[in-house]
Structure formats: structure tokens, C-alpha cells
A and B are shown apart, each in its own frame.
Chain A
Amino acid sequence: MIKNSAAEMSAALSSGATTSVALTQAHLDRISEVDGKVHAFLYVDTQGALEQAKKIDDARARGEKLGPLAGVPLALKDVLVQKDVPTTCGSKILEGWRPPYDSTVVTNLKSAGVVILGKTNMDEFAMGSSTENSAYGPTHNPWDLTRIPGGSGGGSSAALAAFEAPLAIGTDTGGSIRQPAAVTGTVGVKPTYGGVSRYGLVAFSSSLDQAGPCARTVLDTALLHEVIAGHDPKDSTSINAPVPQVVAAAKSGDVKGMKIGVVKELNGDGYQAGVRQRFEESLELLAKAGAEIVEVSAPNFEYALAAYYLIAPSECSSNLARFDAMRYGLRVGDTDGASAESVMNMTREVGFGREVKRRILLGTYALSSGYYDAYYGSAQKVRTLITQDFNKAFEKCDVMVSPTCPTTAFKIGEKADDPLAMYLNDIATIPVNMAGIGGMSLPSGVAPEDGLPVGFQIMSPVMQDQRMYSVGAALEAALLSKWGAPLLSQAPVLGGVA
């Protein structure tokens, strides 16, 4: 049962073949069985999940009209607040904090009847590409437990790949949904910026952060997308427009006549051979399905990474200032006679990890008087140029595509002491955040040299998210008929366990 798609589970619930309580219990059992090895979860809300499941079963028994995902379990990234459920953002500084309110994403999930199993592991405050920066220990890739599950949302993707949940929520500031999806053989979507409310998403970089759906199939991802998306008056940057029809697009999967732009700059040198091979193969499958493959250029993408590492740390240095031991979370050094300033200093010294401190310092420097124009100001100009590159390219194509990451999953610890090498992992995903457009990663097979999954990235213009779902569904169908079974069934370690 737990290996099914969310859509299949939904059908089983509707037909009465199973109940939400049974389905939820099956996933809780699976978590008990495998999460000691995977460590996808920071908190499992056994009681809350079963209560919600029971509520949905009762509503169904009363004949109430329920949404398509009602009763289906989900794993929530620990950066989104859920009332009364511990939220840590993978940081010591929030240890023990129980939020007094629900994020809008959680409100939407609850009203759709989705069952929230618990909170998933992540790089501290979503800063990282491996989930090694969690203060609570790393998450392991279900394909190979010695490898990283990607980051920052490694917990959510690993939970999907290990069949601990059929659905998950991630957040993506520079690739934190798409890169983990790529290296775990799952699907993840970063919607258009403003498509999903950020209210209750603990901010890393406000102008880049976006919550999005994660699942094992394109259709499941679309179903979840429609549940969480929509205008929210509590988020001033939320877009007041109808949600793109992504479920319809995922169901039809029609790419006939669509122009698919291959980004010249996001391929070639620095990309692993097997990654390139799978990418080329996917392009051929899309061409066979009736799409036209064209080449597009985005000359300013080469500056994206540098600009990102000025904008994101700058905003983070300000966003994380609120963690000061005054109102919630950790408090260190509060001894008799200690000043507020020394308590703040000691708490932040103890409560934040190395990567978070590195970015706070970087951002504080970049915003300093006398450096602002050279750093933050220039980075914003680069951002405009990247947006212009996308706009020009989208004149020639309907979606743009690239490999999601240059490589497959690396070993835990391999890049821990080399931040720059770590940052390069996001080279293909960052431009999407800089321009605020939509991006999807879906599995395109495994790299022959290491047998690890490879991600295929699809990018669509602002509020045209349905296009990436059409292309994603078409490619998924073509690949499935080639493989004969879902990719995850090839995963050697935990994926094989029913």
C-alpha cells in the first residue's frame, strides 16, 4: 500500500478499499521500521496524524464531499510552522519551540484533509545542499545510506524515496526542493514566486524562498500543488491571480507542438557523464512525444551563483536577527547579572551552526555602509539581467530545460569542508529563484557509472506552472514505458522493502 502513488491511495480511500487511519498507520509503521537508518524525520506526530486521519474517515463515512488528497499522509519540512507542533528549522536555536499559529500552507493542507505525519529534517534554516548542516544530524539517501539526500530539504525527499510518505512539502530558495528530488529519484516543484504563501515559512531569504510540492509522480505533485497554492492576504508578495491548472496539465501530458529550450550554459563542462547521458535521452523522448527541441542561451547565468551568495546571505542576516533569546527558543547565559546583550551573543554563538554563521557574516558585510552598492546593489542588477535572459529565451520556447544538478548524490562528509564545492551543486537551480519563475525536477534515470538517480529540470515562465507539468508528465510517461516500472523500484537498499 505505501508504495502506491498518492492518487492511487486517494482512489483506494474513495472506494472504501482502505481507510485513512489504516493508511496513516502503515506509514507510521514504515517510519518506525526505516527512519532509524534514513533519519528523514525530526518529529513524528503520531497522535495528531491518527486523529486527523480518523476525522477524515468519519467525514467520509458521513458522506461529506472531500478533496482528492483527503486522508492521504504527508511529510512537512520543518521550516513551516504548524500550531503546537515543534518547529526547529534544523537549528538548536529553536529547540523546543512550539509555534502558536499555523502557516498558510498548513492551513491549506488541513482544510484539504491531508494528514501531516510530522516534520522533516533539513539543513539548518534551509542553508545547504546536503542536509548535513542540520543540528540534529544528517539524513541518509535511501538509494545509498552513505550518501547525501540533497538539501536543504533532504528529509522530505528521503521520506518519499523510503516510502515513509507519499507526499511532502519542501521549500526552495536556490534549489532546496529540486536538488533533493534529483538525487533521490523523486519529483519536486518550486512554483512561481508568490504562487504559494510564505506566511509561516520561516524566512531564509524572503525574496527567493518558495514552498512547493514533492511526491513520487508528476500527477501527485500537481494534486498537492493545487492544495497549497493560491493568493494569501497575509503575504504581501503572494500573487492575486487564479492558480495555474497544473492537475489538468499533469493528466493530459501533451507536449505536441511545444517548444522546449535547452539552456546552452547549463550543460557540458562540470556535468557528470551519466547526468548528461540521461539528459540527452530525455530530450530524445520528448522529441518523440511531439515536442520541438531548440537551443536557447542565457549568458548571464554564469553570474547567478555569485549574485545569489550576496542576496541570500544579506536577507538572511536580517531575517535571522530575531533569534535573540528574548521571546522564544534557546536562551543561553541567562545568569544573575548577565546583560541582554551578552545573553543574545551567547545564545546566537551556541544556537547557530557554522554555515548559518558564515552566511550571517557574509550578509552583514555585504549590506554594510560603503559596501552595499558594490555587493548587494550589483547583485540586484545581476538578478535583473538573469530575468531578462529568461524573458528573451521564453520568446523562443515554452519551457526551458537542463539537468537539475551537475552530479548525482555525493558521499556524506565529502564536501563538508568545502563550501564552494557545495554551493556549485545549485548552479543550475539558482537562476530560477533569481527570476522568480517555476521549476520542476523529475527523475530521468540512473547514471550508469554509479547507479544513482539523475534529475531533469523543467523551467516555466511566471504563473505558467502548468507548462512544466505537461512536459514533466509526458517525459515521465515515456520513461516509465521504457523502464517498465517506477525508478524507485530499482533503488537497491530501502526502496526495495515493501
Chain B
Amino acid sequence: MSALTYEDVISKYEPVLGLEVHVELNTNSKMFCGCSTIFGAEPNTQTCPVCLAMPGALPVVNEKAIESTILIGLALNCSIAPFSRFARKNYFYPDMPKNFQISQYDEPICVNGYVDVEIETDEGPQSFRIEIERVHMEEDTGKSLHVGGSTGRIHGADYSLLDYNRAGIPLVEIVTKIVPGTGKYAPEVAKAYVAELRDILRALGVSDVKMEQGSLRCDANVSLRLIGSEVLGTRSETKNVNSLRSVERAIRGEMIRHAERLNKGEKVVQETRHFQEDTGLTRSGRSKEQAEDYRYFPEPDLVPVVPDAQWIEKLRAGLPERPSLRRKRLQEQWSVPDKEMAAMINADVLNIVEETVLLGADPTKARSWWLGEISRLANEKDVAITALAITAKDVAEIVSLVAQGELTDKLARQVVEGVIAGEGTPAQVISARGIKVVNDDSALMAAIESACAAQPETAQKVRDGHLPAAGALIGIVMKETKGQADAARVRELLLGHLGQSGN
């Protein structure tokens, strides 16, 4: 499609990035009112006079949102401002009820942080430091659905529907300083940065960080300059980048588009562009050449945010371990191969496996239960693993029973199934279902004798040294004991009984 290859671009130009990530916080209520924030409700059912901007209604700050934002700032190595303020960003749009957004302008709550991200390069793993300029709080807008017209945009639509459920959901915006020096790795560094942010936010428990639902959204600013130049090129801002893969694709695509224009002697237009998931290309949004004047001023309906220093220190002390470091630590401690580690991260079972191990389970066994049988059952029911009725404690108990020989693997699977079915703890399931390994040799011997009596010809074959015939007899015994016997032990006793011990 394009004449230029990526290699052509990076041999001549250096990309400079700037990333703005919007995160919807997972607070129970909205930023400035008590409305619910649950995703997917009927349109306009989660609204009130405040988030509909009824005349006279006033905002009140959600304390939990401030706490979450401070946590994010601390996790990103930011300074927390002792005094910060909300500001009004004024512009008209139908899905913004007040026609101004309460945001933060020149006095954000967190400033000057950084995140280190590691990617694989031609020279092995390499770390890049992404500097954070600011982390600030704001409210989300409602959603517009433009019906009719070809573009799904407001221009050309027949009519538009407005859903204000999202209006006022707490948003945190994380803005990087300019990111130079990533060269040809720019798309991968950007992707790694967003992935790292996602992991950090998830570990903090402050957001659902679901890019596909829009609870984590990335705007990618890209500009090019000739290698060796100190002057920044004109940037474009790509919105609508809704997956990690898209971050990479969008930046790569924009780098090529910019280079094509620059090579032809054309200027890059400073504008907002929209990423197209299907083509991997961007298309022009509104031009920013005439910058919109948002007429920011301090929000007079809210008092300044003055967080208590002791509170900040308490939050800092409670910060979770950084996800990337934790992953490395666990992988080493558990001696997990890279591929298995990746599988656990993808299945989102790292936390629960760790919890199970901390309760005494063997790491390999714990991992194989959560990643294997339990994941399979979760998929079958189409629910998250954490939504199942089985806990780390249950799995640790089951692993321990198997290790002690109290359960076979097959019986253990029945116990897991029972726990998930809501029949209680492993002990309750075992007792209710009458599950137990039959390891009483005399009971087994009786079953063996009766099996041999039932099939004398088969027994004779075994006596004659034809060992594969033993399988049929073992099968009868296992059936007789309802699968509760240890098959290995049955085989041992049977062969002894038929004079074949030692084989």
C-alpha cells in the first residue's frame, strides 16, 4: 500500500513520542455525584441532577477517586502536590452536560514521575525510561451515538442519541513528557509502556483497565525529525487506539505516513487522527491548527485538594510490588519456563497461584490446577476464574491431599468440580460424595479374588505370564470400588496374588 517501508523511515528519521493515557477509575460512584458507575446499564439510568447538569446542581469530589489518583502518582514515581485545584475546561458538545469538563489544568495533583519499561531488542533486553509529566483527575463525558450517515460521526448523521451514564465517571489522565531516543523501537516501547501502565493499575486495583471497554484509552502523539536534528517535527495525535496491538500499529502507521509527506516536501498537519482498527491506518479528525480555546479557570464550585502528608505516606507504604519486578521474582522462585509464565499472565491467574503457593502448595501443582482443570471449567461456564466458587485455600488443600495419597488425580478432579458446583469445601465434598481412596488392602484383596473368580481364564493368562491381560481384571476391581482405589496398588496386589510379583 505504501511506497515506503518501515526500514526506509527509520534510516532517515527519528520518531518522538508523547503518550496520553486515560484511565477510568473503578470507584463505585461517579467523580462528582453518587451515581453508579457499573458498565453496560440501560442508557440514562445512572444519572442524577448533578451529572445531567440540571440548573443549580453542584459537584462534590469523590474522595476515593482522589486516593486512587494519588496511588497512581506514587506508583509512577511522581511528586504529590500539597495543593492542587480543579479547573473548568469550556467547550460545547452535546454529550458534555455542563458544556464544560471539570478537569485539572495548571495545578495537577501528581507531577514529574517515570516508568521504566523493558523490551527485547536486537542486542537483547533493553530498558527505556518513560518520563511522566503529570497525572491529573477529570470526569468522563457521556456517549454520543450518531445514527445514519456513512461515517458514524456527527457530521452527516440523521440524528444522534445521547447516553449520560458515562458522564462524570472518574478519569485519570497520565501524560508523558516527550519520549525521544527510542528509534526503530518506538512502536514497541509505546506498547510496552501502555502494557506496564495497565499492569501497574491492575496491581493497584484502581481500574478495570479493559481497553476494549474503554476503561483504558491511549492517545498517541507522534512526530518525526531528521536523525541528528534537535528540532521537533509537527505532531499528530491519534485517538481511538483500543488495544495494545493497536498502539504499536498506530505508531508504526503514523511514522510511515509522516515520512511519506516529509519526503514529498509536504508538511505534517497538526491534527487529531482516528485509528481504524480494520486497516491499521488513521484518518483525519479535527484540525488543531487553530487551537481550541478552552478558557480554563479554577472551578469555583470546588475547594482545592490539599492531601494530608501522613495520608500520602500511608498510601505509599501500602503500594503493591511493581508488577514487572514481581513477575521476575515469581518466575525465578517457581522455576517456571517463559512460555508457562506467559500463559499464567494471559490467563490472569498469577495472583491466585501465588496465593495457593503461599498456603503451602507446590508451585508446579498449583499452576497446573489453575491453568488446567480450573481454567477449563471457567471457560466452559464462560466466567472469570476468580468468579468461580473455588479458592486458593481449596486448591492448596486438594494438592496436599493428593500429595498424601488421600486422593488420586482423578478423584481430585471430582473434588474440584464439587467445590465449583457450590457443594462446599473439599472436605465437605469428599464426605458428601463419599469420595475416598480405597487403600485397605484386605478390601482390595477381596475384590481381586472375586474378579479372578469371575474371569478364571483371564486370571490364568496372567498366571502364565501374559501380563497385559491384567488390565481387564484391574478394570473390574476399579469398577467394583467405584474408582476410589489406587490403580497402581491394585495392580501390585493382583500380580502378587497371581504369582507375578517382581515383574
List the interface of chain A (C-beta within 8 A of B).
Answer: 80-81, 87, 89, 94, 97, 99-101, 103, 198-203, 205-207, 233-237, 314-315, 317-318, 321-324, 326-328, 339-341, 344, 364, 367-369, 372, 376
Q: Contact: A318 with B90, CB < 8 Å?
A: yes
Q: Contact: A103 with B56, CB < 8 Å?
A: yes
Task: List the A side residues contacting B57 at CB < 8 Å.
Answer: 101, 199-200
Task: List the A side residues contacting B88 at CB < 8 Å.
Answer: 318
Task: List the A side residues contacting B92 at CB < 8 Å.
Answer: 321, 324, 341, 344
Q: A318-B100, A321-B92, A324-B99 are in contact. Are A367 and B295 (CB under 8 A)?
A: yes
Q: Contact: B297 with A326, CB < 8 Å?
A: no
Q: Contact: B56 with A202, CB < 8 Å?
A: yes
Task: List the B side residues contacting A368 at CB < 8 Å.
Answer: 293, 295
Q: Contact: A89 with B301, CB < 8 Å?
A: no
Quick check: which of B17-25, B47-55, B220-228, B232-240 contacts chain A, the rest being far away?
A: B47-55
Quick check: which of B58-66, B313-321, B398-406, B412-420 contacts chain A, the rest being far away?
A: B58-66
Task: List the A side residues contacting B162 at CB < 8 Å.
Answer: 326
Kindly name the residue among B53, B58, B99 whose own CB sees the greatest number of chain A CB atoms within 10 A. Answer: B58
Q: Contact: B300 with A206, CB < 8 Å?
A: yes
Task: List the A side residues contacting B99 at CB < 8 Å.
Answer: 321-322, 324
Q: Contact: A318 with B295, CB < 8 Å?
A: yes
Partner of A207, one of B60, B90, B295, B300: B300
Task: List the A side residues contacting B297 at CB < 8 Å.
Answer: 314-315, 318, 367, 372, 376
Q: Contact: B56 with A367, CB < 8 Å?
A: no
Task: List the B side residues contacting A364 at CB < 8 Å.
Answer: 295
Q: What would 12 A/B residue contacts be, using CB atoms closer than 8 Å?
A: A80-B56, A81-B54, A97-B55, A99-B56, A101-B57, A200-B56, A202-B56, A235-B60, A318-B90, A321-B99, A326-B94, A344-B94
CB distance from B61 to the nearest CB of A (A): 7
Task: List the A side residues contacting B296 at CB < 8 Å.
Answer: 367, 372
Task: List the A side residues contacting B301 at CB < 8 Å.
Answer: 203, 206, 236-237
List the interface of chain B (C-beta within 8 A of A).
Answer: 49, 52-61, 88, 90, 92, 94, 97-100, 154, 160, 162, 293, 295-297, 300-303
Partner of B56, one of A199, A236, A369: A199
Q: Which residue of A lies closest to B98 (CB)?
A: A322
Task: List the B side residues contacting A199 at CB < 8 Å.
Answer: 56-58
Q: Contact: B56 with A203, CB < 8 Å?
A: yes
CB distance from B144 to the nearest CB of A (A): 9
Q: Which residue of A lies closest to B99 (CB)?
A: A321
Q: How far is the CA of A230 from the CA of B162 in the complex (A)?
A: 37
Task: List the B side residues contacting A100 at CB < 8 Å.
Answer: 49, 54
Q: How far is the CA of A323 from the CA of B53 in the complex (A)?
A: 9
Task: List the A side residues contacting B54 at CB < 8 Å.
Answer: 81, 99-101, 327-328
Q: Which residue of B lies closest to A341 (CB)?
A: B92
What are the 4 A-B residue pairs with the smallest beta carbon separation, nearest first? A321-B99, A367-B295, A206-B300, A207-B300
Q: How far is the CA of A369 from the CA of B92 in the complex (A)?
A: 17
Q: Contact: A235 with B97, CB < 8 Å?
A: no
Q: A101-B54, A367-B90, A368-B293 are in contact. Are A236 and B154 (CB under 8 A)?
A: no
Partner of B52, one of A103, A327, A367, A376: A327
Q: Which residue of B lies closest to A101 (CB)?
A: B49
Q: Contact: A236 with B302, CB < 8 Å?
A: yes
Task: List the B side residues contacting A327 at CB < 8 Å.
Answer: 52-54, 97
CB distance from B33 to the nearest CB of A (A): 9
Q: How far is the CA of A87 from the CA of B55 in the complex (A)?
A: 9
Q: Which residue of A lies closest to B155 (CB)?
A: A339
Q: How far is the CA of A153 from the CA of B409 in the complex (A)?
A: 83
CB distance from A180 to the nearest CB of B (A): 21
Task: List the A side residues contacting B53 at CB < 8 Å.
Answer: 322, 327
Q: Which residue of B lies closest to A235 (CB)?
A: B58
Q: How far is the CA of A326 from the CA of B160 in the complex (A)?
A: 11
Q: Which residue of B lies closest to A344 (CB)?
A: B92
Q: Contact: B58 with A236, CB < 8 Å?
A: yes
Q: A322-B99, A369-B293 are in contact. Are A202 and B55 (CB under 8 A)?
A: yes
Task: List the B side residues contacting A200 at CB < 8 Å.
Answer: 56-57
CB distance from A237 to the nearest CB of B (A): 6
Known: A327-B97, A340-B94. 11 other contacts (CB 8 A): A94-B55, A100-B54, A101-B57, A236-B301, A318-B297, A321-B100, A326-B94, A367-B90, A368-B295, A369-B293, A369-B295
CB distance from B413 to the nearest CB of A (A): 54
Task: List the B side residues contacting A206 at CB < 8 Å.
Answer: 300-301
Q: Which residue of B lies closest to A232 (CB)?
A: B58
Q: How far is the CA of A334 from the CA of B192 in the complex (A)?
A: 48
Task: List the B side residues contacting A344 at CB < 8 Å.
Answer: 92, 94
Task: List the B side residues contacting A207 at CB < 8 Å.
Answer: 300
CB distance from A152 to the nearest CB of B (A): 16
Kindly name the residue among A94, A101, A364 whose own CB sees the greatest number of chain B CB atoms within 10 A. Answer: A101
Q: A321-B92, A369-B295 are in contact. Are A340 and B160 (CB under 8 A)?
A: yes
CB distance from B286 to the nearest CB of A (A): 13
Kindly name the residue among A205, A317, A364, A367 whose own CB sees the greatest number of chain B CB atoms within 10 A. Answer: A367
Task: List the B side residues contacting A326 at CB < 8 Å.
Answer: 94, 97, 162
CB distance from A102 to the nearest CB of B (A): 10
CB distance from B155 to the nearest CB of A (A): 8
Kindly name the residue among B49, B54, B56, B297 whose own CB sees the greatest number of chain A CB atoms within 10 A. Answer: B56
Q: Which residue of B lies closest to A340 (CB)?
A: B94
Q: How far is the CA of A324 from the CA of B59 in the complex (A)?
A: 19
Q: Contact: A233 with B60, CB < 8 Å?
A: yes
Q: Contact: A322 with B295, CB < 8 Å?
A: no
Q: Contact: B295 with A234, CB < 8 Å?
A: no
Q: Which residue of A lies closest to B292 (CB)?
A: A369
CB distance from A332 to the nearest CB of B (A): 15
Task: List the B side residues contacting A201 at CB < 8 Å.
Answer: 56
Q: Contact: A340 with B60, CB < 8 Å?
A: no
Task: List the A side residues contacting B58 at CB < 8 Å.
Answer: 198-199, 234-236
Q: A200-B56, A201-B56, A327-B52 are in contact. Are A321 and B98 (CB under 8 A)?
A: yes
Kindly name the residue among B94, B160, B296 whose own CB sees the greatest number of chain A CB atoms within 10 A. Answer: B94
CB distance from B185 to the nearest CB of A (A): 37
Partner of B60, one of A97, A205, A234, A315: A234
Q: Contact: A321 with B60, CB < 8 Å?
A: no
CB distance from B60 to the nearest CB of A (A): 5
